[in-house]
Each structure stands twice: as C-alpha cells, then as structure tokens.
Amino acid sequence: MAPEQFKRKGMRMADDLRLYMMNCGSLKTQVQYIKMNQGLGDPYEIPVLYFLITHPTGDALYDGGNALEVAQDALIAR
C-alpha cells in the first residue's frame, strides 16, 4: 500500500523504524533429533519467534512463526 493510501483510509503509519520481536510458542522434541544422536531421550525446546518491522512507508512481517503442519492447540493437546 502506498503512503497516500494509508492517509486516505485513516490508517496511521510509523514515524520511525521499529522492530518488534514476538514469541508464538515453542516446538518440543528430543535432543537426538537436533544434535545428530547426542543426548538420547533428553527433551529439547525450540522457541518460535516472529518479527514485525514498522517503517514510515509500510510495515513488514518477517518469519511468520510456526508452520501450520506443526501448529497445535495447547488446550486440545492435553
């Protein structure tokens, strides 16, 4: 969206460049799957982050978090 379109639609744009880091959960696995057969059976947790970059000419979302194939509702998983 061009800057003039934001003004017409009443949307506010950032005055400066900002980076926001957000946590959308974690992936749980075992160490041997990450470190080539080391730590057999030990639990391993990988944080899943994504980033929002705000800029005067528009915003961008970078690395949108978990892939749908690994996303799981924590309440249903119990």
Over residues 32-74, the pLDDT tens digits come to 988 887 888 999 998 988 899 998 888 898 887 777 776 666 5
pTM, rounded to two decimals = 0.56
How distant is the alpha carbon of residue 41 from its chain centre?
Answer: 27
Residue-level pLDDT at 1? 46
Give residue limits of the domains in the chain: 3-77
Contacts of 56 by beta carbon, 8 Å cutoff, 6+ apart: 3, 13, 14, 15, 16, 17
Confidence tier at 4 by pLDDT (50, 70, 90): low
